Structure 1
Amino acid sequence: MPSSQPPHDHAEHDHDHDHAACGHDHGPKHIYIYSPAGAVRDKAAFRRGVKRLQALGHEVEVDADALSSHQRFAGDDAARVAAIHRAAASGADLALISRGGYGLTRILPAIDYARLGKAIADGMKFVGFSDFTALQMALLAKNGATTWAGPGLLGDFGSPEVVDDIMEACFDDLLSGHGEGSGWRMPATPRSAASQAPDDVYVQKATLWGGNLAVMAGLVGTPWLPAVKGGVLFLEDVNEHPYRVERMLTQLLMAGILGRQKAIVLGQFTDFRLTPHDKGFKLQSVVDWLRSQIDVPVLTGLPFGHVPTKVLLPVGAKVSLSVEGRDALIYWGHVH
């Protein structure tokens, strides 16, 4: 790793929290909680998340429709669009989604991107993951705005377990403006040539983009997926069997998206179950196949996804990426 670029946000793949170097003291911040996608069913987790943020000293403002419900959504389409616009107008330091699920893709044409872009330019940070990827990609496509891939309220701050300390420390770094990068150790792989990650990679000042693979694949061919060339594309997903992960990667591959990147970084793919029919076809099989299809480094093990230990990543920002052996670092401190 370049010694001149020490990361503040650092999480090891093995979840050894002694390696975490996030966390700085800062004053209280104004956090706006809103629900742009799925309905909040677990009200106890919602309350727990709000209380945890308040206990950290923050002023938490809850959107008027944050707990609304219409079918599987947090209010009808118009209500959710209005909630996004209220978040942008709130003057908060940070707008945090209550949860993902599904619901943002269908309302992308109705959102006022200029309004959100102005709020971001004025310093507001929009944070979320999963279904939130749709809004992040649309903002990047429409006005190049930087948002943050990071926690949601329910599953992270509202967890019945102890809040993950790496996630919380990286969130704290974002609020205090100290976050400069995220490092991790890629998992060891079998010794076959197909499974080997590249030993040394160095990419300078490339656009970091991506998020949930299913959401990304669903935006291909629409105006809401940015045409990023020479970027660092990160991907994660949940409840998707490896063959479905491969099918969605194939969509991005055949659309010409994967081959145009400087690097592909795979986060966590969790909560799937292999079957006897697979006969050895597993997630590593998909990684091996992808490496055989493109002349682009494919890295694994990024601590991000539907998991407690997740770093925060600036979607749309210029980053540098370095890999030495199994040690990988995404660094954006130079963008400040």
Structure 2
Amino acid sequence: MTEAFAHDLGTLHLYSPSGVVMAAPALRRAAKRLQAYGFEVSIDADALARHQRFAGDDDLRLAALHRVAEAAPTVALATRGGYGLTRLLDRIDWPLLARAVARGTHWVGYSDQTALHLGLLAHTKAPSWHGPLAVDDFGRSVAEGGLDEVTPDCFIEAVSGELEAVGFRTEEGHDGLDVKGLLWGGNLTVLCSLLGTPHWPKVKGGILFLEDINEHPYRVERMLMQLQQAGVLAAQKAVLLGDFGGWRKSPLDRGYNVKSMVAQVRAMTSTPVLTGLPIGHVPTKVTLPVGIKAQLVIEGRDALVAWG
């Protein structure tokens, strides 16, 4: 634990809006770690509920989401992703969630949480945070690799209002790029599933960031091509790609891989497409705002996303 963070960081509520939490010890481990950092941690009463592959049935999870919004903690941190929020989108009280944001709540998560981030942006323009999950990150045991320093430090700085920029290394060819726009994005599969629905934020001139897992590069390419054909990529100032791991090679690939996919995407859009953003289903990840104006600056291979 970074000693600089060993102070009162406000209230943090752990809740389960999506997939079932299979290991209660991991949730307790996450709560203990977060408390050690300085948060006043509470776990929602239904965080460990189970119904099929979900953390409780739809009504139960929706009630938990609204319960957290009414409490308006400093941080509303999802336990895990999976699938489940899409089932709730038509019934979520978006103004209630936005009022929690106005009262100081940071809605944090990634993966399936993308549906909540983008729905909140589409319906209310309220910002949220693409960041770690309780069980997947803070609940990681030593045997699973434990918790690195970057992920919690960045997360804590973000929800404390101290984080104003993140930097990363990208590929050559973008030196001198300097653009401004609304920062938005998340999991590519979830994001594409919202296209054409009332929960899709119609962002023009934005900086779009994307990640995914267990999706073969051709499937990633197909989803990005859908966004291109729908006019989404062309409407952005830049596209930032995070991690796209977990896929299995096929004998049919014959050299086709993530690098090939990125080259194809770049060939079909004039919008700059950058790689290397440290987000996704990986142990080390940064926390980024969703729905806040930001600036992207490239010097050589050094990229900086700033919103301060």
Does the alignment reach a TM-score above 0.5? yes
Give the conservation status (yes or no) of the 8 Å contact 2:165–2:307: yes
Compute the RMSD of aligned alpha carbons. Answer: 1.5
Select 1:248's aligned residue among 205, 213, 223. Answer: 223
Residue in structure 1 matched with residue 210 of structure 2 by the alignment: 235
TM-score (norm 2): 0.96
Select 1:223's aligned residue among 173, 192, 198. Answer: 198
Residue in structure 2 matched with residue 177 of structure 1 by the alignment: 161
CA-to-partner distance for each residue in 1:13-54, whole Å, 9 max, x for gaps?
xxxxxxxx9x65642321000000001012221111111112
Select 1:210's aligned residue among 170, 185, 209. Answer: 185
Deviation at 1:197, TM superposition (A): 3.8
Residue in structure 2 matched with residue 59 of structure 1 by the alignment: 40
Give the conservation status (yes or no) of the 8 Å contact 1:149–1:314: yes
Residue in structure 1 matched with residue 50 of structure 2 by the alignment: 69
Deviation at 1:198, TM superposition (A): 2.2
Deviation at 1:175, TM superposition (A): 3.1
Residue in structure 1 matched with residue 174 of structure 2 by the alignment: 198
Identity %: 52
Of residues 168-177 and 221-230 in structure 1, the stretch that sits farther from structure 2 once superposed is 168-177
Flag the structure with more relative contact order, 1 or 2, with Cα contacts below 8 A and sequence separation at least 6: 1
3-state DSSP of counterpart to 2:190: helix
CA-to-partner distance for each residue in 1:251-279, whole Å, 9 max, x for gaps?
11111111100000001111112122100
Give the distance between the partners of 1:144 and 1:162, measured in 2 at CA: 35
Give the conservation status (yes or no) of the 8 Å contact 1:197–1:299: no
CA-to-partner distance for each residue in 1:32-79, whole Å, 9 max, x for gaps?
000000010122211111111122232111111100011111111111
TM-score (norm 1): 0.88
Give the conservation status (yes or no) of the 8 Å contact 1:166–1:311: yes
Q: After the TM superposition, which residues 1-336 of structure 1 pair with which residues of structure 2 at under 5 Å, given as runs?
A: 26-160=7-141, 161-186=145-170, 188=171, 197-204=173-180, 206-333=181-308
Give the distance between the partners of 1:275 and 1:185, measured in 2 at CA: 29
Q: Which amino acid aligns with 2:299?
A: E
Give the distance between the partners of 1:283 and 1:227, measured in 2 at CA: 27
- Structure 2: any 5+ residue segments left out of the alignment? none
3-state DSSP of counterpart to 1:208: strand
Give the conservation status (yes or no) of the 8 Å contact 2:129–2:287: yes
Give the conservation status (yes or no) of the 8 Å contact 2:9–2:160: no
Q: Which amino acid aligns with 2:149?
A: D
Give the conservation status (yes or no) of the 8 Å contact 1:197–1:297: no
CA-to-partner distance for each residue in 1:213-262, whole Å, 9 max, x for gaps?
00011111111110000000000000111011111111111111111000
- Structure 1: any 5+ residue segments left out of the alignment? 1-20, 189-195
CA-to-partner distance for each residue in 1:70-122, whole Å, 9 max, x for gaps?
11111111111111101111131100000000011121000000100001011
